[in-house]
């Protein structure tokens, strides 16, 4: 027996719905079930609701049950045992990230390393396999709801469903992070091999760049001896005692290259030179996949870092690799190191540096070849061992001209009427302008001390509008490939932007060096998973994250036990899972007939 709705059409063509009580009867002649109407309640829009409620009450009394109450406590009011809703938590994002985590074999790799880990000191230690779940939870937290490690414990316990992990303590998070640093090298290598196999990566180009992240503290770390890679050099007990007594060691310990604190002042890429910082480097494939990150003390110079990066990846399963980096890495030593062993490079060169190469390149005549609407290139011959390519972006040229015009207008306004000033006041104005590099480069001082606009410098600067110079050691790349390869360096810059703005690299809620390094590793793993989603599903991670987090799991309990049921995924959520070849969470996620759920 059931209630059905039938629809009829009036003479004017409008539709009217009727509510009927019906049941199915078997017709032996036709050998099929036919619906028989037992009672018609009339038009659905004109129902006598009080009469229906009285009928329900009468029927429930006949079967010995009190009439049902109205509202969320209906099951409790009627005295009929039933299910009670406990809570609902987001599931879609964590489930998808866990699927990728498993597909890449990171879970298996971490559990294998936890079973017997060789640390940096050469010893071996065993870890509880749950450390893998803890690290995954921290990575998922960074990708879905970035927070401090302490806040992440509450997130796991109350705000999300993490498969295999109901709760976690902050001590467990810190221990897992400390252990993560001990297996960093082997983890990075294993993750790269898995990602290269899963995505069939093209690793003929490796892009490298650095950034910095600052700390909201005025005190930099105390300097310690460090090796050439920025790692602390251990000292024996006698040396530590000598320092505790106030003495200073004249000679550095073996392997030390200098002294520096980890969080220390340096040239900030966030314009916060007033705060201590650390330097972070990242290597990215042409597909935008971050394959590894590094950390150095905050005062580390960019130039030598790419040599360490190449050495650290020397034993990876790479063929011939062209390293692509910005102008900060174009030193002679770097070029020699990158081209060793059959490798190569594409490096930016400062056109305004006044170097012999830049001057010679700009003096060469030639016709530009149009690559696309915003890129024109020409190769110039100024060396027997390297190739140089001048690139010009017409849109960037217009922007450079506009910026220069504003600077010149501002400079003219500043020096207007300066001829009437006393020599001391003019010198004071000259000093103010010298602190503003953008203005100072267009200023000329006459022999008599008068301030003038330098027309020659403006004309020379205009010749460089929208242009940049590239140098490469590869003799086979086309001019177009060199230019387009360098333009892909923007993938690293996008990685920094997402790591800082989407995954919240900063603020860093740690002061110990290894914890800071581990925090950066967790951000890298989160960015890696996010980039795989973007690459395979052709969407942005913030958009995918929002859609995935709408897929929830609800927890219900009753006398029969506890079970968890997932909500219906949206069409976009289904598409994301399909694009990544991952299975959606089952409708019944968990069923335990003996254990009622607790709030």
Q: CA-CA distance, 476 to 229, in Å (whole number)?
A: 33
Cα–Cα distance list, 544 to 146, 418, 579 (Å): 16, 59, 12
- Element housing 291 (H / E): strand 290-297
* Predicted local distance difference test score (pLDDT) of residue 34: 77
* Predicted local distance difference test score (pLDDT) of residue 123: 47
How large is the average pLDDT for residues 356-372?
87
> Which among 350, 354, 339 is positioned nearest to 388, based on CA atoms?
350
- Element housing 444 (H / E): strand 443-445
* Predicted local distance difference test score (pLDDT) of residue 285: 87
Instruction: Answer with the residue of higher pLDDT: 218 or 183.
Output: 183
CB 328 within 8 A of CB 343: no
pLDDT band at 168 (very low <50, low <70, confident <90, very high): very high
Instruction: Answer with the residue of higher pLDDT: 257 or 548.
Output: 548
Q: CA-CA distance, 390 to 377, in Å (whole number)?
A: 6
How large is the average pLDDT for residues 256-269?
92
> Which among 33, 11, 15 is positioned nearest to 24, based on CA atoms?
33
3-state SS of 425-436 is HHHHHHHHHHCC
Instruction: Answer with the residue of higher pLDDT: 251 or 306.
Output: 306
* Predicted local distance difference test score (pLDDT) of residue 48: 72
Q: What sign does the dihedral 325-329-331-333 (CA atoms) show?
A: negative
Residue 426 pLDDT > 90? yes
Reported as a single tens digit per residue, the pLDDT across 216-226 is 988 899 999 99
Which of 27-31, 154-158, 360-364 has maximum average pLDDT? 154-158
CB 18 within 8 A of CB 40: yes
φ, ψ for residue 588, nearest 5 deg: -100, 105
Lowest mean pLDDT among 80-89, 360-369, 551-560: 80-89
**Cross-strand bridge partners of residue 558:** 561
- DSSP string computed for 83-144: -EEEEEEE-HHHHHHHHHHHHTTHHHHHHHHHHSEE-TTS-EE---THHHHHHHHHHHHHHH
Lowest mean pLDDT among 22-26, 64-68, 473-477, 546-550: 64-68
Q: CA-CA distance, 521 to 186, in Å (whole number)?
A: 13
Which of 48-62, 117-131, 232-246, 351-365 has maximum average pLDDT? 351-365
Instruction: Answer with the residue of higher pLDDT: 246 or 82.
Output: 82
CB 73 within 8 A of CB 65: no
Instruction: Answer with the residue of higher pLDDT: 598 or 71.
Output: 598
Q: CA-CA distance, 457 to 460, in Å (whole number)?
A: 5
Q: CA-CA distance, 93 to 166, in Å (whole number)?
A: 16
* Predicted local distance difference test score (pLDDT) of residue 126: 67
CA angle (131 as vertex; 126, 135 as ends), nearest 5:
140
Instruction: Answer with the residue of higher pLDDT: 446 or 196.
Output: 446
* Structure-block tokens of residue 414: 């500043």
Lowest mean pLDDT among 194-198, 292-296, 440-444: 194-198
Percent share of the chain, pLDDT over 70: 87
Q: CA-CA distance, 182 to 122, in Å (whole number)?
A: 10
Percent share of the chain, pLDDT over 90: 52
Instruction: Answer with the residue of higher pLDDT: 566 or 67.
Output: 566
φ, ψ for residue 290, nearest 5 deg: -75, 120
* Predicted local distance difference test score (pLDDT) of residue 201: 72
* Predicted local distance difference test score (pLDDT) of residue 248: 54
> Which among 4, 92, 38 is positioned nearest to 551, based on CA atoms?
92
Cβ within 8 Å of residue 25, ≥6 positions away = 33, 34, 35, 36
* Predicted local distance difference test score (pLDDT) of residue 254: 86
CB 176 within 8 A of CB 459: no
How large is the average pLDDT for residues 375-394?
91
How large is the average pLDDT for residues 294-302?
93
219: phi > 0 → left, psi -120 to 50 → alpha, else beta; which?
beta
* Predicted local distance difference test score (pLDDT) of residue 376: 93
Residue 585 pLDDT > 60? yes
* Predicted local distance difference test score (pLDDT) of residue 578: 96
Cβ within 8 Å of residue 55, ≥6 positions away = none
R_g of the chain, CA atoms, integer Å? 34
How large is the average pLDDT for residues 400-427?
94
φ, ψ for residue 285, nearest 5 deg: -80, 170
**Cross-strand bridge partners of residue 203:** none
Arithmetic mean of pLDDT over the chain: 85
Residue 158 pLDDT > 80? yes
* Predicted local distance difference test score (pLDDT) of residue 238: 53
> Which among 301, 293, 296 is positioned nearest to 267, based on CA atoms?
301
Residue 272 pLDDT > 70? yes
Residue 88 pLDDT > 90? yes
């Amino acid at each position: 027996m059931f209630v059905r709705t039938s629809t009829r059409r009036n003479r004017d063509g409008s539709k009217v719905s009727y509510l009927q009580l019906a049941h199915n009867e078997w017709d032996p002649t036709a050998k099929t079930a036919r619906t028989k109407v037992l009672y018609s309640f009339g038009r659905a829009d004109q129902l006598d609701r009080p009469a229906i409620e009285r009928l329900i009450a009468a029927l429930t009394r006949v079967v010995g049950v009190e009439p049902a109450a109205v509202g969320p406590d209906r099951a409790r009011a009627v005295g009929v045992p039933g299910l009670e809703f406990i809570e609902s938590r987001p599931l879609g994002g964590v489930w998808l990230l866990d699927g990728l985590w498993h597909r890449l074999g990171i879970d298996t790799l971490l559990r294998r390393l936890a079973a017997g880990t060789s640390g940096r000191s050469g010893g071996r230690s065993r870890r509880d396999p749950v450390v893998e779940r803890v690290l995954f939870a921290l990575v998922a937290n960074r990708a879905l709801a970035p927070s401090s490690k302490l806040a992440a414990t509450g997130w796991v316990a109350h705000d999300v469903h993490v498969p295999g992990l109901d709760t976690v303590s902050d001590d467990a998070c810190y221990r897992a992070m400390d252990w993560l640093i001990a297996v960093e090298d082997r983890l990075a290598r294993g993750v790269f091999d898995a990602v290269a196999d899963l995505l069939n990566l093209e690793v003929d180009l490796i892009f490298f760049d650095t950034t910095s992240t600052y700390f909201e503290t005025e005190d930099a770390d105390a300097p310690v001896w460090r090796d050439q890679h920025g790692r602390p050099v251990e000292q024996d007990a006698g040396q530590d005692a000598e320092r505790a007594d106030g003495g200073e060691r004249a000679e550095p310990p073996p392997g030390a290259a200098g002294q520096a604190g980890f969080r220390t002042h340096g040239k900030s890429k966030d314009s916060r030179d007033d705060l201590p910082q650390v330097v972070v480097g990242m290597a990215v494939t042409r597909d935008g996949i971050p394959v590894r990150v590094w950390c150095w003390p905050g005062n580390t110079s960019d130039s030598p870092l790419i040599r360490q990066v190449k050495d650290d990846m020397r034993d990876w399963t790479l063929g011939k690799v062209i390293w692509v980096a910005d102008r900060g890495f174009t030193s002679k030593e770097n070029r020699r190191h990158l081209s060793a062993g059959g490798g190569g490079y594409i490096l930016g060169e400062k056109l305004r540096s006044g170097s012999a190469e830049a001057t010679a390149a700009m003096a060469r005549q030639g016709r530009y070849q149009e690559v696309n609407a915003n890129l024109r290139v020409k190769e110039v011959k100024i060396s027997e061992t390297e190739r140089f390519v001048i690139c010009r972006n017409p849109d960037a040229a217009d922007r450079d001209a506009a910026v220069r015009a504003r600077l010149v207008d501002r400079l003219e306004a500043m020096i207007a009427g300066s001829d009437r000033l006393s020599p001391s006041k003019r010198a004071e104005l000259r000093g103010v302008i010298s602190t503003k590099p953008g203005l100072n480069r267009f200023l000329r001082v006459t022999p008599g001390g008068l301030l003038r606009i330098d027309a020659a410098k403006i004309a020379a600067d205009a010749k460089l509008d929208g242009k940049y110079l590239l140098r490469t050691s590869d003799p086979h790349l086309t001019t177009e490939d060199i230019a387009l390869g360098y333009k892909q360096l923007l993938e690293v810059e996008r990685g920094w932007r997402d790591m800082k703005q989407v995954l919240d690299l900063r603020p860093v809620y740690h002061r110990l060096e290894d914890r800071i390094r581990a925090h950066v590793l967790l951000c890298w793993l989160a960015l890696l998973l996010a980039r795989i989603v973007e690459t395979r599903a052709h969407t942005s991670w913030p958009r995918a994250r929002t859609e995935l987090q709408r897929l929830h799991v609800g927890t219900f309990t009753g006398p029969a036990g506890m079970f968890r049921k997932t909500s219906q995924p949206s069409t976009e959520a289904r598409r994301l899972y399909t694009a990544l070849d991952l299975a959606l969470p089952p409708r019944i996620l968990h069923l335990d007939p003996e254990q009622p759920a607790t709030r």
